[in-house]
Structures are given as structure tokens and as C-alpha cells.
């Protein structure tokens, strides 16, 4: 029976792990065991925070809308309430985009809701 040396396969596996952790700090980018655990943790955080990112953006939009609506004498809460009672179907993402890039258009929206 022929002897099979497995050095190439294990080195390839090691290289892949270290390539994925390139740019990490300290031993996490050079030592295989630390790199492997760092890689697993990074994957877990990426999975969990893909869901959290959506909430983070919604909070950011709310803050931007609130900042844009204050000069008109409204609070965010009252503004959103008026939007829903007047059946104005525009989402928060678009509202903050309009408020940020086109203030004149946002002003017209606010005047229409008053």
C-alpha cells in the first residue's frame, strides 16, 4: 500500500483560515487556532447584526425626520400621527431622504399635512 502524505491538504486549510482573518489584530491573523475562533465569532456577529442593521437604520431615519420637522413646530410623534390620519403613504426612508436632499419639497409636504 502506498503512503499518502496529507501535508498539502492541511496547509491549504490553514491558508484558507488565515486568508479569511487577514487584517485582524494580534494573533488572530497569524495563529491558526485563534484565527479559527475569530472567524467563527465574526460569522456569528455578521449573522446577528444583519437583523439589527434594519432597526438601526429605522432609528436613524426617525432622528433625521425629527430634526427636519422641528423648525416647522412639530415633533416627530405628531408629524407621523398626522401623516397616518391624512392617509399620506410615504415611508420613513423616503421622508428622511427628501428632508435631507430636497428641503423645499419637504416643506411642501409639511404644509400639505398641516
What's the pLDDT tens digit per position in 67-89? 999 999 999 999 999 999 999 88
* Superfamily of 8-113 according to CATH: Ribosomal protein L20, C-terminal domain (1.10.1900.20)
pLDDT tens sequence across 15-53: 999 999 999 999 999 999 999 999 999 999 999 999 999
Residues 95 and 57: their CA atoms lie apart, in Å, by 13
What's the pTM value of the predicted model, to 2 decimals? 0.71
Domain range summary for the chain, segments of one domain joined by +: 8-113
Residues 41 and 46: their CA atoms lie apart, in Å, by 9
Amino acid at each position: 500500500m502506498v503512503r499518502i502524505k496529507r501535508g498539502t491538504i492541511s496547509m491549504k486549510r490553514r491558508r484558507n483560515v488565515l486568508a479569511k482573518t487577514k487584517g485582524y489584530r494580534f494573533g488572530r491573523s497569524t495563529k491558526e487556532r485563534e484565527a479559527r475562533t475569530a472567524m467563527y465569532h465574526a460569522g456569528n456577529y455578521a449573522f446577528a447584526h444583519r437583523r439589527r442593521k434594519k432597526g438601526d437604520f429605522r432609528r436613524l431615519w426617525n432622528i433625521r425626520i425629527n430634526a427636519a420637522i422641528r423648525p416647522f413646530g412639530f415633533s416627530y410623534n405628531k408629524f407621523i400621527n398626522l401623516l397616518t390620519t391624512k392617509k399620506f403613504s410615504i415611508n420613513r426612508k423616503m421622508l428622511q431622504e427628501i428632508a435631507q436632499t430636497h428641503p423645499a419639497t419637504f416643506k411642501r409636504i409639511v404644509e400639505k399635512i398641516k
